[in-house]
Amino acid sequence: MYIGIDIGGTSTRAGLFQSLDSPDFAPLARFPTCPGYEQQLQALVNAVRSSGPKYLAGIGISIGGRVAKDGSSLAVAPNLPAFVGKPLAQDLSQQLACSVHLAHDPVCGLLAEKKFGHLRNCDTCAYLTVSTGTGAAIHLGKTSTSLTLSIEIGHQLLDGNLLPCLCGQVGCLETFTGGKQLELRYGRPVAQIAAIEPTLWETFCDKLALGLVNLAQLTRVEAVAISGGIALNNTFLLPLLQQKVNAKLRGASLELSPAALGEDAPLVGAALLLDIPGETILH
Ligand SMILES: [Zn+2]
């Protein structure tokens, strides 16, 4: 039995997998992410001990922050500041007596979509999450060799953009596509912004299309699975985005599709961390 855990800035979910050959899992726990590291660690241990199986092959964790190069802890996590530098993998492994693997959430989302979703037959592909922030991971593979890594797609600079980003740079893509930044600028939830700013989604897709064309030209990625609350709740965005990408991109093509596993992709991909060689992930 395997456990996949998805730790986001607001909530944590865990699922139990009988096998890693299927994306099906039994929900194990769901609770608000504790802001303190020790409380969160204890909540995870309790959840696994109270409803987990007797024999556990391992735990994979998808987490909302960039993981340190050695894969042991979080290196950068604006939404989980108390976790930065804490030995999460080692602490959980000691308390639950099994191996624990950790990766940034878009990496896990990509692994799940690569194994079970629309990216199945593509060796150069990406996973994009359009939510509070704008995150992505890319997978570059050839026969038996591959590398999967998360990238800061939301913090690429767009020429002429003078908006300050929450990351400290000026001109980032995420100033147009990040849910948190849009809400701060307009003073209301994303779902209510279009009522006062009719060009919201047109501009959103124009800017995101630029970011995706840059991605295709810089990495040779050919397919992107798109997830995240903003994309999943506004399904009209994807065809508009595809149209804008097609109008700009030359010498290559980029096929956009919704993440087949929806919001479960990071949790499913977390469990898959137990089944793939660690050296194929560049943290
Ligand atoms: Zn930025």
> Ligand 1 centre from 203 Cα, in Å?
17
> Ligand 1 centre from 168 Cα, in Å?
6
Which tokens hold the place of 86? Answer: 């804490």
pLDDT value of position 225: 98
> Ligand 1 centre from 76 Cα, in Å?
13
> Ligand 1 centre from 66 Cα, in Å?
14
Instruction: Dump pLDDT digits (tens) for 95-132.
Output: 999 999 999 999 999 999 999 999 999 999 999 999 99
> Ligand 1 centre from 279 Cα, in Å?
28
> Ligand 1 centre from 17 Cα, in Å?
36
- 54 falls in which pLDDT band (50, 70, 90)? confident
Q: Is the pLDDT of residue 234 over 90?
A: yes
**């039994």: which residue's tokens?**
26
> Ligand 1 centre from 25 Cα, in Å?
35
Query: Helices 37-51 and 88-96, interaxial angle, to 10°?
Result: 30
**Element spanning 281, H or E:** strand 281-282
> Ligand 1 centre from 138 Cα, in Å?
19
Report CA dihedral (235, 182, 265, 219) to the nearest 10 degrees. 90
> Ligand 1 centre from 164 Cα, in Å?
8
> Ligand 1 centre from 152 Cα, in Å?
9
Mean pLDDT, range 53-66, rounded to an integer = 93
> Ligand 1 centre from 58 Cα, in Å?
35
Which tokens hold the place of 159? Answer: 């020429």
Q: Percent of the chain scored above 70 by pLDDT?
A: 100
> Ligand 1 centre from 80 Cα, in Å?
17
> Ligand 1 centre from 155 Cα, in Å?
4
Q: Which residues contact 266 (CB under 8 A, 6 or more apart)?
A: 6, 62, 105, 106, 108, 109, 112
Expressed in angstroms, the distance from the first to the final Cα of the chain is: 26
> Ligand 1 centre from 64 Cα, in Å?
16
> Ligand 1 centre from 49 Cα, in Å?
39
> Ligand 1 centre from 180 Cα, in Å?
12
CB atoms within 10 A of CB 70: 9
CB-CB contact of 59 with 5 (8 Å): yes
Instruction: Dump pLDDT digits (tens) for 134-173.
Output: 999 999 999 889 999 999 999 999 999 999 999 999 999 9
pLDDT value of position 52: 74
> Ligand 1 centre from 212 Cα, in Å?
16
CB-CB contact of 186 with 163 (8 Å): no
pLDDT value of position 278: 93
pLDDT value of position 137: 98
Neighbours of ion ligand 1 (CB under 5 A): 155, 165, 167, 169, 172
> Ligand 1 centre from 231 Cα, in Å?
20
pLDDT value of position 91: 97
